[in-house]
Amino acid sequence: MERRCFQRPGLPRSQLFRGVAGALRACTTPRLSSLYLSQSETPRANSLPQHPQSIYHIPVTTTDHLHRRIAAATGIVMASVLLSRVLGFFRDWTVAHQVGANAATSAYYTAFTLPDFLNYLIAGGSLSITFIPVFAKYVAEQREDEGWRVFSTVVTVMGFVLVTLVLLGEIFAAHIVKYIAPGFAPAEFQQTVFLTRLMLPAQICFYEGSILSAVQYAKNRFIIPSLAPILYNIGIILGGVLLSSRIGITGFAVGVLGGAICGNFLLQIYGAWRAGAIFRPNFNVRHPGFWMFLKLSVPIMLALSLSFVDDWIIRWFGSYLQPASITWLADGKTLMRVPLGLVGQAIGVASFPILAQLYSEKKFDDMNRILNSTFRALIVLLLPISALTIAQSLPLVHLAFSATRLRSTDLSAIASTLAFFSLGMFAWGAQNILARGFYATRDTITPAVVGTVTTLLSLPIYWLLVRRLDYVGLALASTIGIVAYTILLFILLDRRTKNPEEGSIVVFFLKVAVASATAGYACYRLTGALETVIPWQHIAGAFLLLTLVTSMGIVLLLALLKIFRVREVGQYLRRAYQFANRA
């Protein structure tokens, strides 16, 4: 008897009703022509023709219905990402509070490079992107059982590959770290090697957890996958708080391993079981679905997209700079990622399964409308946040880190990196949406090629700017590279989808950009004036300053958008008001 590790016993009532309805339809309508199956695919015994259904088992009728589903999913993911980003900031705050900014913290952040590379090498961070279109295809063809067979094959085969890579990484860690951080001193190098080996096994949990999360996304279940980064960050924080007084920065690395096991692996096993996942270990690498998965994954595995390797480039160049440089850059980027993750990541995660479904059903006009609406929402949210962050970067950093062991020079350095990273905040969020537009059409090659070319062309910019501007040059080079990558993706995706609203989106972007830049400059001048009368170097003063300036900036921004006749802003405000009333 075959073993079903995740399948819940019994048949849910909703599935029973669908089966009865399918039988009734079979009696009154002509039978569909049978699907052609390869020898490695197993047809379902005694199967009845079923009504075409989405990957969520919910028929889709109107674009408004799709928007409501995306909005609901986005709300769940956004709440999770908000909490995750807050905890992510608090995680780095705990590092600064317990250890400070020095060679040990730079070694800790650099130790993530090899584990992240292994995860990237097998496209672990993109599993929800590469697996969902495959699963959606089988469900759209009324062959969900084959989708579960592909799921089992991916978990088994890729899990075996990853375990092998982790073992090789443990053995050759010292040799690899020499190339990751060639500028480190001997003591810093040895600490990086030790922390790397300690955190490597966590990648097994990340990979298997990602495929389990992808299954839940495909079933329109977002809550349990959204808890994974929250528990992961809690694990790191607890490891640092409880252990750093005894074993220093190593306590945070122990927390990385514990958080990955609990949040990214064990919890996701439970979530996949709740979603009705069927898992039977097998090495059936000849299954067409597995080859489709590889076809989508290999371009991501072989690519060097700047959205993935930017941190690695920064750490490589940063190893030649003063010891705390990598920490300053990491802290600045973490602050930039708080609103970026809340808006860009939430919209991207929630909309991607819908886009994949629409492509599978050949509803290309609806797909374009969804892409356009999500892109406009991203513009109107991220551009103003970016401008306000740049204008108030120094008091913002003081609010975040003044109660830690960081010195005033550290805070000023982090504020500088935050300002330059924030110039590219919108591009970081937009490339996430644009790449998913390609992935939904089962095209992972175009973003991979564009990303690799952009990365290679950006390397001289990193080299030049780090020589001219030191660590700040790395933040500026990162922004220039991601902006170029985003522009190329936007042009190519519009050509691919034949988007009729390309021009209107560009005009919309320019209007919001001009309004945001104007409001941001006004906030910058007001911040400079208020800094002379408000003690902003302390938490209470920084909070007061940020509240006053941000309030003025929002009022000015809304007035400018009204002058520029950006009608969408009024629609967004009405929807937000209605949502708040319902809540």
Q: What is the pLDDT of residues 386-443, one digit of tens each?
A: 999 999 999 999 998 988 888 899 999 999 999 999 999 999 988 888 887 787 777 8
Output the pLDDT for position 464: 96
- So what's the pLDDT on residue 345? 60
If you search the block for the tokens 């970081």, which residue do you land on? 428
The verdict on residue 490 lying in a domain is yes
Residues 6+ away with beta carbon under 8 Å from 188: 103, 104, 106, 107, 181, 323
The DSSP call for residue 69 is H
pLDDT > 60? residue 52: no
State residue 489's pLDDT score: 92
Q: For the chain, give the percent of residues with pLDDT over 70.
A: 80
User: In the chain, helix, strand, coil percent, each to 5?
Assistant: 80, 0, 20
**Using 50, 70 and 90 to split pLDDT, how confident is the model at 6?**
very low
- pLDDT-derived band of residue 351, with 50, 70 and 90 as boundaries? low
Q: Is residue 401 part of a domain?
A: yes
Under 8 Å between Cβ of 203 and 168: no
Confidence at residue 39, expressed as pLDDT on a 0 to 100 scale: 37
Report how far residue 383's alpha carbon sits from residue 564's, in angstroms, rounded to the nearest whole number: 15
What is the pLDDT, as a whole number, of residue 62?
Answer: 53
Tokens of 381: 């949210």
Q: Is residue 416 part of a domain?
A: yes
Q: If you count them, how many residues does the chain have?
A: 583
Please check whether residue 193 is in contact with residue 173, taking contact to mean a CB–CB distance below 8 angstroms: yes
Give domain status of residue 528, yes or no: yes
Residue 37 lies in a domain: no
59 falls in which pLDDT band (50, 70, 90)? very low
Which residues touch 165 (CB under 8 Å, ≥6 apart)? 118, 121, 122
Higher-confidence residue: 86 or 312? 312
- Mean pLDDT rounded to a whole number for the chain: 81
Q: How far apart are CA 339 and CA 347, in angstroms?
A: 12
In the predicted structure, residue 134 carries a pLDDT above the cut 50: yes
Residue of higher predicted confidence among 333 and 59? 333
31, 193, 28: which is closest to 113 by C-alpha?
193
pLDDT tens figures, 66-110: 555 555 555 666 676 678 778 888 898 999 999 988 899 999 999
Number of domain units in the chain: 1
Determine the pLDDT at residue 493: 86
Q: Is residue 163 within 8 Å of 329, Cβ to Cβ?
A: no
Predicted local distance difference test score (pLDDT) of residue 438: 83
On the question of pLDDT at 352 being above 50, the answer is yes
Segments forming the whole domain that contains residue 481: 308-339+363-583
Entry pTM: 0.72
> What pLDDT, on the 0 to 100 scale, is given for residue 42?
41
288 burial via Cβ count (<10 Å: 0-12, 13-18, 19+): middle
Answer whether 550's CB lies under 8 Å from 392's CB.
yes
**Which 3 state secondary structure label does DSSP give 442?**
coil
The two structure tokens encoding residue 144: 């969900």
Residues 252-269 pLDDT 10s: 999 999 999 999 999 999
Within a domain: 524:
yes
Spatial distance between the Cα atoms of 105 and 111, rounded to a whole number of angstroms: 10
Residue 243: the pLDDT is 94
Please spell the DSSP secondary structure of 274-323, one letter per residue.
HTT--------TT-HHHHHHHHHHHHHHH---HHHHHHHHHHHHHTTS-T
Is residue 468 included in any domain, yes or no?
yes
- Segment 531-563, tens digit of pLDDT: 999 998 888 999 999 999 999 999 999 999 989
* In contact, 356 and 440? CB cutoff 8 Å: yes
Instruction: Write the pLDDT tens digit of every residue in 268-305.
Output: 999 989 888 888 888 988 888 888 888 878 777 777 77
Q: How far apart are CA 385 and CA 202, in angstroms?
A: 34
Asked if residue 487 belongs to a domain, the reply is yes
